[in-house]
Structure 1
Amino acid sequence: MFIKKESLSFILIVLFTISINAQQYLDPEYIKVTEKRASKIVDNLEISDKNKSELITQIIAKQYQNLSKIHDEKDAKIEAVKKLNISGEKQKSKIEKINAKADKLLNKLHKSYLKQLSANLSNDKVDAVKDGMTYGVVPKTFFAFKDMIPSLTDEQKIYIYDNLVEAREHAMDAGSSKEKHAWFGKYKGRINNYLSAKGYDLEKERDGWYQRIEARKKKESN
């Protein structure tokens, strides 16, 4: 079977890079890092059953490992495409296909992961796991919006919360801290646009909020 030089170069670069990443993926030290990360999340769940606690720790750690594998392989393929001597449009098309394939794998993994968590934890604890994987951005940001704009209606609060939760679903599958925060940044932009359309002057609301925070600090220090 005839293989184009371009395709052969791509295959060789991908195989080499993925081979390196596969070794990292199986590295005992890396596995320890994921288990430690998972253990911190589980500690906050206050699970009294030791066996169940260990099971959840392993489920979360394995999720981190699986996510890393998908992102590493995706990044390797994209890097290989960038090294090929092809036009910008062709490169863009190949990268889009690589990202689309990775997204399908992430979506499948996401559903499987939540199914495992839901089989062993209450909805509140599943949400706590999600918050643990995303640095608690949802509760912190939701509180911040309510504190910044005390006049928010119930409908507006629901809109804000629902968008933050949707962002979390994406962020928990992201491959890095930067990517996780980027997802929240995207949805916070959507929320800001929504609030502006509702008539809020966000710059004015933010300035007033900062002043109230400073006033609280002074009061607490006295």
Structure 2
Amino acid sequence: MKRYLLAYNSCVSNKLISSVSSSLRLFSACKALHLFIAFLSVAVVHAQANKTADSAYLKVITERSAKIVNTLSIKDSAQYKRVVSLLAQQYNSINNIHEETKLALAAIKQQSITAQESALQVQKQEEKKVAQLQQLHNSFLAGLQKVISEEQIELVKNGMTYNVLNVTYTAYLDMIPTLKEDQKKKIYEWLIEARELAMDGESSDKKHAIFGKYKGRINNYLSAAGYDLTKEREEWQKRLKAKKESSK
């Protein structure tokens, strides 16, 4: 009889342990499910936020592209939409390259490596960005050449860079009327080079900074040629003031 009671107690105990174990497993599974649902909810909210931000950015660059294309006098609606699409895609691709580079550079800073190793990785990342932008730049121009003329492509380039090339070149000619033809040519070539780089800038400030760098180069070139830029600028301002007063 005692043996049967022991057996019965053992059986009840095993069932109880099994039941508790099952409950614990169920609790763990439910907890894991709740955590997964919470994580999924956060991910969905994050994805929706990104989607909203992406949609807003797409709207901005499409409107910006349309303003530039409006200067091309395109009559065919299909051609017009094609050029707007190419330009908007270019803006988006440029932004993606710059954002990916920023993330990569931030990741480098978080690594436990020497300053020399960090500098080397940063240099490689910058070189990668330059190569990607150059490839994208060439592809973009090749795409434009299939749908619009060279004159219209010039307008697109100027539109993407706020017409800084023409404004700056005109200013130099007006400021220094005695510029020689070879000097004018050199200034224009540098501004063309600046424009090509500025087209791939990720912001207005970056684009203007690129032109600023080339303006510094031009100023050094003119100073070396014997021009007193401070004096030339002062005389230019006097002429502009006199012209403004005479037009009143």
TM-score (norm 2): 0.77
Q: Does 1:179 align with 2:179?
A: no
Cα distance in 2 for partners of 1:185, 1:141 equals 10
Cα distance in 2 for partners of 1:63, 1:200 equals 40
Aligned partner of 1:3 in structure 2 is none
Aligned partner of 1:9 in structure 2 is none
Aligned partner of 2:181 in structure 1 is 154
Per the alignment, do residues 170 and 158 of structure 1 end up closer, same or farther by CA in structure 2, a change over 3 Å counting?
A: same
Aligned partner of 1:123 in structure 2 is 150
Cα distance in 2 for partners of 1:111, 1:179 equals 20
Tell me, yes or no, if the aligned pair for 1:146 and 1:152 is still in contact at 8 Å: yes
Cα distance in 1 for partners of 2:150, 2:222 equals 29
1:2-13 map, 5 Å: none
RMSD: 1.8
Tell me, yes or no, if the aligned pair for 1:78 and 1:95 is still in contact at 8 Å: yes
The structure 1 residue matched to 2:121, chosen from 94, 100, 104, is 94
Cα distance in 2 for partners of 1:159, 1:219 equals 34
Tell me, yes or no, if the aligned pair for 1:35 and 1:58 is still in contact at 8 Å: yes
Aligned partner of 1:112 in structure 2 is 139
The structure 1 residue matched to 2:216, chosen from 165, 168, 189, is 189
Q: If you compute each CA radius of gyration, which structure gives the higher value, 1 or 2?
A: 2
1:7-86 map, 5 Å: 23=50, 27-86=54-113
- Higher mean alpha-carbon deviation, 23-32 vs 47-56, is at 23-32
User: Identity over the aligned pairs, expressed in percent?
Assistant: 42
Structure 1 position 33, deviation (Å): 0.9
Cα distance in 1 for partners of 2:130, 2:81 equals 29
Classify the secondary structure of the residue corresponding to 1:44. Answer: helix
Tell me, yes or no, if the aligned pair for 1:25 and 1:65 is still in contact at 8 Å: no
Cα distance in 1 for partners of 2:56, 2:159 equals 21
Classify the secondary structure of the residue corresponding to 2:73. Answer: coil
Number of paired residues? 202
Cα distance in 2 for partners of 1:82, 1:216 equals 55
Amino acid across the alignment from 2:212: G
Structure 1 position 86, deviation (Å): 2.6
Output one character per residue of 1:120-155: Cα deviation in whole Å (capped at 9) or x when no partner: 111111111011000110000000000000111111
Cα distance in 2 for partners of 1:73, 1:188 equals 29
Return the structure number with greater relative CO, CA threshold 8 A, min gap 6: 1
Unaligned runs of 5+ in 2: 1-45
Unaligned runs of 5+ in 1: 1-18
Aligned partner of 1:199 in structure 2 is 226
Structure 1 position 81, deviation (Å): 1.2
Per the alignment, do residues 118 and 130 of structure 1 end up closer, same or farther by CA in structure 2, a change over 3 Å counting?
A: same
Per the alignment, do residues 25 and 207 of structure 1 end up closer, same or farther by CA in structure 2, a change over 3 Å counting?
A: farther
Cα distance in 2 for partners of 1:175, 1:95 equals 18
